[in-house]
Amino acid sequence: MTARHAPPAAPITLYRYALSGHAHRAQLALSLLDLPHVLVDVDLKQGEHKQPAFLRLNPFGQVPVIDDAGTVVHDSNAILVYLATRHDPARRWLPTAPEAQAAVQVWLSAAAGPIAFGPAAARLVTVFGAKLDADGAIARAHQLLRVMEPLLASRSFLVGEGPTIADIAGYSYISAAPEGNVDLAPYPAVRAWLQRIEALPGFVPFPKTAVGLAA
């Protein structure tokens, strides 16, 4: 029998913007870990994230932020590590073995690097009108996908046969890559990996936008 974690004493508050893949990472982690939570939408268009009340939560003025009974954590990858360490005693989502932890960290770094500057940046252009080099972002996205494809052809998830926070960190922007004109058709193993994540108990989808190849 698998031991269940004790739920937090009170729901965790997630401050988010629904179309932010970074915020979706945090929401996906909360849901996959079966943690009670409430969502608070931050109005980025009106600059709510730059107001003093929000800056007290995150001086960088960015979503997501979580408040876990007074423990405030910002940065999506930091939130994943915190949740997996604090609320998953079995350490399914962040293994304790040094080699596995290092492998997870590789993909957290990828989330902050190639994913952020590849599929996430390409989507910023089409969804939000960001003045970025779309062609360069698309090219970086395909470089990343060409690394992921053979890896995921040989295993079910990014770090072995079970899901970890590495998969949570990668899912949102890669699933939404077609919105940024990044075609996933040439990458069947990547698409199968996305489907495996979507089949996990507690999965919550990333809201879709009808732009780019998804139009």
Domains of the chain with bracketed CATH: 12-86 (3.40.30.10), 98-214 (1.20.1050.10)
Q: How much of the chain exceeds pLDDT 70, in percent?
A: 96
pLDDT exceeds cutoff 80 at 3: no
Question: 54 or 5: which carries more pLDDT confidence?
Answer: 54
In tens, the pLDDT along 103-129 reads 999 999 999 999 999 999 999 999 999
How remote is the C-alpha of 97 from its chain's centroid? 23
Q: Sheet harboring 12-16: ordered strands across?
A: 37-41, 12-16, 65-68, 71-74
Distance CA 21, CA 173 (A): 6
How remote is the C-alpha of 131 from its chain's centroid? 23
Task: Give pLDDT, residue 210.
Answer: 96
In tens, the pLDDT along 163-195 reads 999 999 999 999 999 999 999 999 999 999 999
Q: What rounded mean pLDDT belongs to the chain?
A: 94
